[in-house]
Amino acid sequence: MKHRKPILITGGAGFIGSHVLRLFLTKYPNYQIFNLDALTYAGNLENLKDVENLPNYTFLKADITNTKEINNLFELYKFESVIHLAAESHVDRSISDPLAFVKTNVIGTMVLLNAFKNLWSQNFTNKLFYHISTDEVYGSLGETGLFTEMTSYDPNSPYSASKASSDHFVRAYGETYNIPYVISNCSNNYGENQFPEKLIPLFINNILNNKPLPVYGDGNYTRDWLYVKDHAEAIYLVFHKGKNKQTYNIGGFNEWKNIDLVQLLCKQMDEKLNKPRGTSESLIMFVKDRPGHDLRYAIDASKINKELGWKPSVTFEQGLSKTIDWYLNNKGWLENVTSGAYQNYYKKQYH
């Protein structure tokens, strides 16, 4: 049997992970890609239906916080590189259950780091631990300025504090044990297969069900949006060409105030559903603000642009339109993920 380099991707059944997996599986068949995922509420193997039978793909159902299981898997498969995406990823959930975020995002990352270190500490040549992180570790910007790789960490939510902590551990393992690593910190992603707890898919789903669109506070919060497939391409580049012990910021050069974004989304939804202009917008409802809500995120992505030649490939209008089309053509997917536990979460969060 042909030997393929074994690469571990964690969280591959989630939103971004599924796009990363597909890209690696189809673009680079010389890797044997292992997708390790615990299949929490956010993990869904339906996201990978089109690639699950490829010979270079193996799914491993496991929890990154389970030390014994993770050590055994590293011993068994000898993963030469890790691309670590598995995480609890929703800020609102981190406010109601912070410990779950410490467990998965901090302890889980530590378990992986230890397993990787123990396996390769005699020889780290051609090995890599790639940690996927977020721009939220930098805290909040005022009306101006951008996050660069030199911006100090200043996390405000339990989610961003847990991600910041995991970033620090990755760096610490690089300094202390010399593990080769890269980290990338990305802005808000949107696109196909995103779980409808995050702003864009939540609002698409609510419009389809004629439910209110709950805008937090006055809606004047700003995020920098990036199409998920452009993020996957950036991860592919950083993995192959990123320099050891470096951080790369990834962003869309695409800032939107929430309320403006929601209005654009409503306009596109009305057009696609053949509804009179203003129909979806009439569902907007301003609700109680998120505690500790960061005012503005915006990424300076010039380092990855200059060093690795990456830039986003689609405009926001194009990416949003593709995204809406996907949800309209995959209502079964939406129905599956919003049944059961989703209803309880929704009631708790919005009532």
Cβ-proximal residue to ligand NAD, closest one: 14
Task: State the number of binding residues for ligand DAU (CB under 6 A).
Answer: 19
Residue 179 to residues 84, 125, 242: CA-CA distances in angstroms? Answer: 14, 10, 15
Q: Which of residues 175-234 bind ligand DAU (CB under 6 A)?
A: 187-188, 198-199, 202, 214-216, 221, 223
Which CB atom, from 80 or from 149, has the smaller least distance to ligand DAU?
149
- In whole angstroms, give the CA distance from residue 149 to residue 171: 14
- In whole angstroms, give the CA distance from residue 42 to residue 89: 9
Is residue 37 at the binding interface for ligand NAD, with CB under 6 A as the rule?
A: yes
From the list ligand DAU, ligand NAD, none, pick the one residue 17 interacts with, judged by a Cβ distance below 5 to 8 Å according to partner type: ligand NAD
Is residue 195 at the binding interface for ligand NAD, with CB under 6 A as the rule?
A: yes
Going residue by residue from 140 to 179, which x/- string records binding to ligand NAD, judged by CB under 6 A?
Answer: -----------------------x----------------
Least Å distance, CB 116 to ligand NAD, is 15
Among 15, 24, 129, 248, binds ligand NAD (CB under 6 A): 15
Segment interacting with ligand NAD, rule: CB under 6 A, options 148-156, 188-196, 236-244, 315-323: 188-196
71, with CB counted inside 10 A (0-12, 13-18, 19+), is middle
From the list ligand NAD, ligand DAU, none, pick the one residue 216 interacts with, judged by a Cβ distance below 5 to 8 Å according to partner type: ligand DAU
Give the dihedral sign, CA 106/141/203/269.
negative
Is residue 249 at the binding interface for ligand NAD, with CB under 6 A as the rule?
A: no
Alpha-carbon dihedral angle through residues 125, 129, 130, 135, given to the nearest 10 degrees: -130
Q: Which of residues 199-228 bind ligand NAD (CB under 6 A)?
A: none
Least Å distance, CB 126 to ligand DAU, is 30
Which of 345, 343, 33 lies closest to 209, judged by CA? 343
Q: Which of residues 86-115 bind ligand DAU (CB under 6 A)?
A: 89-91
- In whole angstroms, give the CA distance from residue 19 to residue 25: 10
Q: DSSP label at 202?
A: H
Contact 214, 285 (CB under 8 A): yes
Tokens of 14: 């989630």
Annotated active-site positions, please?
135-136, 159
Kindly write down the DSSP assignment for every residue of 42-54, as one continuous string.
T--GGGGTTTTT-
Which of 253, 261, 157 lies closest to 203, judged by CA? 261
Q: DSSP label at 339?
A: S
Q: Which residues contact 237 (CB under 8 A, 6 or more apart)?
A: 304, 308, 309, 310
SS3 37: strand
- In whole angstroms, give the CA distance from residue 225 to residue 256: 7
Segment interacting with ligand NAD, rule: CB under 6 A, options 13-21, 211-219, 291-299, 309-317: 13-21
From the list ligand NAD, ligand DAU, none, pick the one residue 252 interacts with, judged by a Cβ distance below 5 to 8 Å according to partner type: none
Is residue 13 at the binding interface for ligand DAU, with CB under 6 A as the rule?
A: no
Which of 77, 26, 79 lies closest to 55, judged by CA? 26
Is residue 232 at the binding interface for ligand NAD, with CB under 6 A as the rule?
A: no
Phi-psi map region of 217: left, alpha, beta (phi>0 left; psi -120 to 50 alpha): left
Cβ-proximal residue to ligand DAU, closest one: 134
Task: State the number of binding residues for ligand NAD (CB under 6 A).
Answer: 30
Among 21, 24, 34, 43, binds ligand NAD (CB under 6 A): 43
Which CB atom, from 4 or from 290, has the smaller least distance to ligand DAU?
290
Least Å distance, CB 159 to ligand NAD, is 8
- In whole angstroms, give the CA distance from residue 252 to residue 224: 6
Contact 8, 34 (CB under 8 A): yes
Is residue 64 at the binding interface for ligand NAD, with CB under 6 A as the rule?
A: yes
From the list ligand DAU, ligand NAD, none, pick the one residue 234 interacts with, judged by a Cβ distance below 5 to 8 Å according to partner type: none
Binding region for ligand DAU (CB under 6 A): 89-91, 134-136, 187-188, 198-199, 202, 214-216, 221, 223, 258, 290, 297
